[in-house]
Amino acid sequence: MADIAAAGASGKVVIKNIGLLLSGDIDQPILHADTIVVDNGLIVAVGREKDCDLSGAQTVIDAHHTCVCPGLIDSHVHPVFGDWTPRQNQIGWIDSTMNGGVTTMISAGEVHLPGRPKDIVGLKALAITAQRAFDNFRPGGVKVLAGAPVIEKGMTEQDFKDLADAGVTLLGEVGLGSVKAGYEAKEMVAWARKHGIQSTIHTGGPSIPGSGMIDKDVVLEADADVIGHINGGHTSLPEAHVCELCEKSSRAIEIVHNGNERVAIAAAKAALELKCPHRVILGTDGPAGSGVQPLGILRMVALLSSLADIPAELVFCFATGNTARIRQLNCGLIEVGRAADFVFMDRAQHTAGKTLLESVQLGDIPGIGMVMIDGIVRCGRSRNTPPAQDIPEVVTGH
């Protein structure tokens, strides 16, 4: 087997003998194809091997009839600097999460920075620094979209324009700072949206010092783009209020690992009953008081599939294509032109499920055999998941 650390560094990559291809598209979650062709980090062909141009490949990966899925997207993380979290004083948490199949992370605020500045000049400086730093440094190859300022009272529209002009595209969780009233949040969310900055609102009880209770009425009035951890982070609103948010808001429904699991199931079921499953996205809300969860997204997929009785192939879309479309990312879907971010999976050894999808539906997480980001193999068999029944192999490459 070729050295996977160097596989797919550039040029053409062919992935063949795919047993199950999950698209990330909730309208067509399974593709009837067995081959993907990648060139310089982007997907250039998806189909049957006999119909694809395999010539000139620098790297060929034999999937050994395992499953290929878009790289998982964690819609809600709290990074600080590099691959270190002061919340748990842990180094390497992002690389470890990549071993859980996550290839993209989205910051909901760099709130755990010791001494985090709360003055307007300081919060803007922190956001711009975080955005720049993670744009230049990708732990384990993971794309960390960071630089999400926590809004404070006294901010004006010019502040949001300044942030946007500097390259900031996200707001940290509304409600973690001094802005907690619905009418104040609504004005600032509108300013952010005007200047191309996407917003997320905290939902439920307080989580860190300085945060507060954000109830359903504040969430509805603020009208942020993403209803952040709708199942609480950690403490949830009453289940009836969560279902009301799903019904009365048209915004993204974000369900997280570090929340109320019973309400997570209720929210997912409500979205299906309301015929808007495309609004559901998944996050971990880590690092947090409960720690770092390298397998948090996989665990959410298994939880919702098994206990909410949602087909596993649909729940994988919650963690991939749904998030990519809502967050306007060029990943998360297996289609031509998208980034070549993939997770290779198979059913875990000795699971009761006869197939990968059946095993997830029964509540078991799959085993990861390889993770690829931008056409580059970042890890082989995961050090964190249970061993997969079978794993892919790099059969040629530099």
Q: What is the pLDDT of residues 94-109, one digit of tens each?
A: 999 999 999 999 999 9
Domain of residue 45 covers: 4-70+332-396
pLDDT of res. 209: 67
Answer whether 203's CB lies under 8 Å from 229's CB. yes
Within a domain: 354: yes
Within a domain: 326: no
At 19, phi and psi to the nearest 5? -85, -35
Q: Is 17 in the same domain as 152?
A: no
pLDDT of res. 202: 96
CATH code assigned at 213:
3.20.20.140
Cα 43 from Cα 58, distance rounded (Å): 15
Q: Is 64 in the same domain as 129?
A: no
Select from 36, 12, 30, 109 the least CA-distant residue to 397. Answer: 12
- Burial-class residue 172 by CB neighbours within 10 Å (0-12, 13-18, 19+): buried
Q: What is the mean pLDDT of each run of 10 residues along the chain (398 residues)?
A: 44 96 98 97 97 95 98 98 95 98 98 96 98 97 98 98 98 95 97 98 82 90 98 94 97 97 98 98 95 96 98 98 98 98 98 98 98 97 97 84
CATH code assigned at 43:
2.30.40.10
Within a domain: 278: yes
Q: What is the pLDDT of residues 350-395, one digit of tens each?
A: 999 999 999 999 999 999 999 999 999 999 999 999 999 999 999 9
Q: Is 77 in the same domain as 219?
A: yes
pLDDT of res. 233: 87
pLDDT of res. 347: 98
Cα torsion 173, 174, 178, 183 to 10°: value is 180
Structure-block tokens of residue 103 = 């290839």
pLDDT of res. 211: 67
pLDDT of res. 397: 64
Cα 344–chain centre separation = 17
Cα 19 from Cα 6, distance rounded (Å): 25
Within a domain: 366: yes
pLDDT of res. 210: 65
* Cβ burial 360-393 (10 Å sphere, 16+ → b, else e): bbbebbbbbbbbbbbbbbbbbbbebbbebbbbbb
pLDDT of res. 267: 98
pLDDT of res. 1: 32
Select from 290, 203, 303 the least CA-distant residue to 251. Answer: 203
